[in-house]
Amino acid sequence: MLNSFAKVFMGAAGAGGNTVEYIGSDVAVSPNGASVSVPLNAIGGGSPSTGDLMIVAFSCSGGEDERNNMSLSTSGFTDLASAHVFESNQLSTKVFHKAYAGESSIVSNAVVNVNTGSALDQTSVSLCVSVFRSVENISVFANRALRNTDDATWTEVTSLSAGNCVALFASTSHTNGFKYYSNPGDLDLWGDDVTTVYENDNHNITSGTGAKAITTESSFSPSTWNCNGSQNQSGVTAITVVLS
């Protein structure tokens, strides 16, 4: 278990000789730009171990491009990726990573109105946390910002090696009430499922995270995560990370 991780350039899937282990994930949501907290003591049936890799995807539905206004209260995280969709329901996502060092939870700061300093009203925010073990390299393979759709579609991941792990993080901004992502059926996560959650505000959000352990494949084409949440007013961020 390493306490630091080498970043690999976009589109690369580091070979490595180790086998990455998926430990678990959890997702939480909050209305009106409020702070979100995800406890770590139930991930994978217990707390992570020192040096495990934590990847956190923080998303905000509504407002403008809020990426410069989105941060974590839990210290020590490094930016990994970000995406923004300009749509009727704007969507901003930031992804961070850090080695686990005894934290009990991951907490985001409130997304605030830059003019008033108060939490941003009529927005929905989400926090997805996934934990992995025996990671040496982190590669952002694909970073998608999709308009006029509510479904998360993915780029085929290539140049994979045995022992790699593909981690997927998606969010959808929409107006159509309480919507989960459908079970994609091709992930090694909670019985081939995706951890998913929603928040119902003026600008709704559906968010989820999933992982695929690579055994013999050299490529992986993730199935679409269907949302059914008012397609013509929706935006999606879909970020693919390869761990080796």
Q: What is the pLDDT of residues 153-184, one digit of tens each?
A: 999 999 999 999 999 999 998 867 778 888 88
pLDDT of 18 above 60: yes
Alpha carbon distance 57, 208 (integer Å)? 9
Tell me the pLDDT band of 241, cut-offs 50, 70 and 90.
very high
pLDDT of 3 above 50: no
Tell me the pLDDT band of 230, cut-offs 50, 70 and 90.
low
Q: How far apart are the first and last CA of the chain?
A: 12
Nearest 5°: phi and psi at 92? -125, 135
Tell me the pLDDT band of 35, cut-offs 50, 70 and 90.
very high
pTM over 0.75, yes/no: yes
Tell me the pLDDT band of 10, cut-offs 50, 70 and 90.
very low
